[in-house]
Amino acid sequence: MRESFFYEKSLTLSKRVTSPRGCGGNRALNLEILHINIQCLTNKLIEFESFICDKSYDIICISEHWFTDCRILENLIIDKWQVTSLFCRTKMVHGGVLIFSKKDRIATALTHINNASIELHCEVCCIQLNCKTVIVTMYRSPAGDFEVFCDNLVRVLEMIQSYHTAIAGDFNVLFGTNCHKAQVVNDIMTSYGFIQTIRSPTRRTNCLDNIFINFSLENYSTDIVESGISDHLGQSIKLKTENKNRPNVYAATTYRPITPQGSEIFFAMMKEWDDAILLNNNVCPHSRFSTFFNAVQHFYMHSYPLRKLSTRRQDNGIKWFNENLAKIRSNLQMINSLYSKYGSDKLLQMKRTLTSQYKKELQAAKIKANDTYIKNSQNKFKAAWDIIKSFRQQKVNADTQLTATLFNSHFISAGSKATNPTTSVDQICNRVDSSATSEFDFNNVSQVVVRDVLHKLRNSNA
């Protein structure tokens, strides 16, 4: 049945994708993409940062991040990269995909593509860089239904067929062999004008991960990358793409400068203001204060208008990755590569020892660098918040209808309720039934019972 499907597709969709209209005249730029199956980013954040901190990738695609809370990932920033698009599992553990983009790249998540994800079978996230180019990350679990994956892959390809597209992911099929599933994936990709770019093994002797492209077909280069933090090798690709927008290297800041001219205007407005209402005892104090406060606020905003300042984006200047860490990282990558090739017990022990040492050294180096930054800063509180904000994306605060009066009255009444509770402890104790039996008891259980309970909780949010 699948073979007949490909026969029909080869007749109707074998032509190469044409370039979208409306984006002509743009200059070609290099685009460097990395994909890696990280196998749990949740406990490898600092190791992952040390791996990419001296790299120049524009886009980083991650499969199997294992995060289950999207809110954590939405605000995640690692060095020069921020999470732009993501998919997290909600019913089962592990899995998930995300895309990091450089902060100076204008990238937008395509949520209608992300919503096409099917947990376990075909997990997808996507970003659009400009009017022509989109990047897609995919993950197919080996435990998923391959037919469901293929059908959903076609659905996604239909939605992005008018774009210049790079699709990176872990497909869990044996590329470069006689594997039927690999041939099926290649046939689908080819029918939409994509080519396979990775031919080397990405996990031991198997090529499970790949990057497919439908543009820059004559001008691309690929490489296999040893990260030292996963048993999957990373795959990188350099492409030529047309970018309508220049990199977003500027950050806008709004402020109210206190100028001598503004101060003169402010003083003059205050002097001319009729403050007779403040002396009128027939008006309640609350109304008089509100009138005074609103007048001062109006004069202030008029005298010191908002200004907008554009500055180049920059990090907090904390350089924590040193030569010693680079040497340990290089040794770990070498040991990891040797273990993937030979798989001896001695190499495994060396890998575990070096991984543990590397993690401790990374944490110590980062803590020391942050401590030094705070101690040498004139404003230590601001320095501490600079470090915190460097790991979080900018958040837009929503307008609130909460007034100062309502805020104050709430906490005033909260204090009185805490010091004068309406219900005494004696009343609560009197309502307790002394003859009530315990709701649980301690009993000896076997390991089999514990195993069965854990098995039932495995795919839940417990």
> Domain with 156 in it: what CATH number?
3.60.10.10
Q: Quote the pLDDT of residue 458.
A: 67
Residue 462 falls inside a structural domain: no
Residues 137 and 19 in one domain: yes
Contact 278, 292 (CB under 8 A): yes
Please tell me the distance from the alpha carbon of residue 416 to that of residue 423, in angstroms, as a whole number: 13
Residues 62 and 168 both lie in one domain? yes
pLDDT the model gives residue 148: 97
Instruction: Please check whether residue 440 lies inside any domain of the structure.
Output: no
Co-location of 343 and 222 in the same domain: no
Domain that holds residue 152: 2-242
pLDDT tens, residue order, the chain (462 aa):
444 333 333 333 333 333 444 454 455 568 999 999 999 999 999 999 999 999 999 999 999 999 998 988 988 999 899 999 999 999 999 999 999 999 888 899 999 999 999 999 999 999 999 878 999 999 999 999 999 999 999 999 999 999 999 999 999 999 999 999 999 999 999 999 999 999 999 999 999 999 999 998 988 999 999 999 999 999 999 998 765 545 555 556 677 888 888 888 888 898 898 888 888 888 898 888 999 999 999 999 999 888 876 555 555 567 888 889 999 999 999 998 888 888 899 999 999 999 999 999 999 998 999 999 898 888 888 888 888 877 766 555 556 677 778 877 877 777 666 666 666 656 666 665 555 555 656 677 777 787 777 777 766 555
User: Are residues 41 and 135 both part of a single domain?
Assistant: yes
Residue 193 lies in a domain: yes
Hey, what's the torsion of the CAs at 234, 239, 245, 250, to 10 degrees?
A: 40
Question: Domain check: are 236 and 332 in the same one?
Answer: no
Residue 180 within any structural domain of the chain: yes
Domain end among 216, 242, 268: 242
Residues 151 and 37 in one domain: yes
Give how many domains the chain has, as a whole number: 2
**pLDDT of res. 4:** 36
User: Does a structural domain hold residue 291?
Assistant: no
Nearest to residue 73, comparing CAs of 50, 54, 55, 99? 99
Residues 130 and 241: their CA atoms lie apart, in Å, by 10
| The predicted structure's pLDDT at residue 11 | 31
Give CA torsion, residues 351, 354, 357, 358, to 10 deg: -90
pLDDT number for residue 144: 96
pLDDT of residue 137: 98
Q: Of the candidates 196, 213, 242, which is a domain's last residue?
A: 242
Are both 228 and 336 inside the same structural domain? no
**Backbone φ, ψ for residue 365 (5° rounding):** -65, -40
Residue range 392-447, pLDDT digits in tens = 665 555 566 777 788 778 777 776 666 666 666 566 666 655 555 556 566 777 77
Q: Where are the alpha helices (DSSP H) in 173-284?
A: 180-191, 260-272
Examine the domain organization and report whether 86 and 220 are in the same domain: yes
Q: Answer yes or no: do 232 and 327 share one domain.
A: no
Q: What is the CA radius of gyration of the chain?
A: 30
Of the candidates 195, 226, 242, which is a domain's last residue? 242
* Same domain flag for 164 and 24: yes
3-class DSSP assignment, residue 163: coil
Residues 216, 330: one domain? no
Can you give the pLDDT at residue 14? 33
| 271: in domain | no
329 with 222, same domain? no
Residue 27 lies in a domain: yes
Quick check: is 154 in a domain?
yes
* Residues 65 and 73 sit within 8 Å (Cβ to Cβ): yes
pTM of the model: 0.66
Q: The tokens of 10 are what?
A: 């080869």
> Residue 6 has what pLDDT?
35
Q: Which residues contact 300 (CB under 8 A, 6 or more apart)?
A: 266
Q: How far is CA 368 from the centre of its chain?
A: 26
